[in-house]
Chains A and B, each alone.
Chain A
Amino acid sequence: GEKVEQHESTLSVREGDSAVINCTYTDTASSYFPWYKQEAGKSLHFVIDIRSNVDRKQSQRLIVLLDKKAKRFSLHITATQPEDSAIYFCAASIRNNRIFFGDGTQLVVKP
């Protein structure tokens, strides 16, 4: 089955800087790549996604890039704020809305 790897288990940035979280996947049939955020002690919620028919998507300060040839996708958070501190999960989906999660990246935004 599909395997999703998140390269950074932890990431620390200064407030106002950009943060980049990188993920790779194994199955070329994957076509949907969502990202989820989990704040400390809370549940997960959806933040942004990208489908395989595009290579870039932006929602306010969040940018997702997809490189299908390299089977790599990334989340860029610009102008980071303390409230961006959380665990971010990348995921990939082939079909039937079954998605495969990475193990998460702990982002710390320092003031």
Chain B
Amino acid sequence: DMKVTQMPRYLIKRMGENVLLECGQDMSHETMYWYRQDPGLGLQLIYISYDVDSNSEGDIPKGYRVSRKKREHFSLILDSAKTNQTSVYFCASSLSSWGSYEQYFGPGTRLTVL
């Protein structure tokens, strides 16, 4: 069953706290992504990972970092969260970076930073 999972689904944090968002996929996809979605702004790419320990910045990497130590897991870390990082975060995966393939999205994590 092709699936992208995200944990947690909902999270409330205080400004300055650290945040860890986790993503998993069971399709052995090479490429994984982190996006955030804000009303009226569509999807913004935070980071893209082409494989284990092969990560590249997207359009809005400031304030975020990522970790990919296993192909099936991709983590997004917010060190000292800010209120403007309140958003819905989506993880996605696709087969490979060699060629263009559809992306499979996780259910999203709704993060609120107070």
Tell me the count of chain A residues lying within 8 A, CB to CB, of chain B: 22
In the complex, what distance in Å separates the CA atom of A32 from the CA atom of B40? 24
Of chain B, the residue at the smallest CB distance from A45 is B105
- Is there an interface contact between A46 and B104, defined as CB atoms closer than 8 Å? yes
Produce 1/0 per residue, A30-59, CB < 8 A to B: 011010100000111110010100000000
Contact: A43 with B107, CB < 8 Å?
yes
A46 to B93, CA, bound (A): 12
A99: Cβ under 8 A from any B Cβ: yes
Instruction: Give per-residue flags for A71-106: 1 if the beta carbon is below 8 A from chain B beta carbons, else 0.
Output: 000000000000000000100010111110111100
Within 8 Å by CB of A97, from B40, B42, B97, B107, lies B97
Instruction: Name the interface size band of chain B.
Output: 20 to 34
Nearest chain B CB to A52 CB, angstrom units = 10
Contact B96 A97, beta carbon cutoff 8 Å: yes
- Whether the Cβ atoms of B105 and A89 lie closer than 8 Å is no
CA distance A9 to B31 in the complex (A): 30
The answer to whether B90 and A43 have CB atoms under 8 Å apart is: yes
Q: Which residues of A contact B94 (CB under 8 A)?
A: 97
B interface with A by C-beta (< 8 Å): 31, 40-43, 45, 48, 50, 90, 92, 94, 96-97, 99-108
